[in-house]
Amino acid sequence: MIDVKEIAKCYGENDFSIIKEIDSSRGDEDKRYTYLIKFDDGLELAIKVCQNDFTTPERILGWQKTCEHYLNLGIYCPQIVKNRNGGYSENIIFGDENYIVYAEEMKKYKTQEEFEGDVAPDIPVRDSVRESVGLVASSGQELVPWHSAYCVFVKFSEYELTDENYETAEIFCNTVRENYPQYNEYVDRIWDMYIAKRTQFEPIYHKLPKAVFQGDLNPTNVLVDDEGKFAGLIDFNLSGTETVLCYILLPEVCLYNLQCEDLEYLTDEDFLKKCDDFLYDNLRKINKHYKFSDYERENFNLCYNAIVPFCFYMTVGLLKWVIREKKDERVDKILDWVYYQLSRDDMRLEL
Global pTM value: 0.92
* pLDDT value for 151: 87
DSSP string, 239-262: -EEEEHHHHHTSTTTTS----GGG
Question: What is the SS3 assignment for 113?
Answer: helix
How open is the CA angle 207-208-209, to the nearest 5 degrees? 120
In whole angstroms, give the CA distance from residue 160 to residue 107. Answer: 31
Question: Is residue 212 exposed (0-12), middle (13-18) or buried (19+ Cβ within 10 Å)?
Answer: buried
Q: What is the pLDDT of residue 124?
A: 61
Cα separation, 318 vs 316, in Å, equals 5
89 vs 60: CA distance, rounded Å? 7
Query: Which residues of the chain fall short of a pLDDT of 50?
Result: 119-123
| CA 95 – CA 107 distance, rounded (Å) | 31
List 102's β-bridge partners, or say none.
48
Domains (range + CATH), the chain: 4-108 (3.30.200), 112-343 (3.90.1200)
Q: What is the DSSP letter of 123?
A: P
174-180: Cβ within 8 A, 24+ apart = 175/316, 175/319, 175/320, 175/323, 176/319, 176/331, 176/335, 179/323, 180/328, 180/331
> Please, which residues bridge with residue 232 across strands?
76, 223
Q: Is residue 99 within 8 Å of 91, Cβ to Cβ?
A: yes
What is the rounded CA–CA span in Å between residue 209 and residue 140? 10
Residue 341 pLDDT: 98
pLDDT at residue number 135: 97
Assess contact for 105 and 79: CB atoms under 8 A: yes
Cα–Cα nearest to 81, from 91, 67, 69: 67
Strand partners, 105: 45
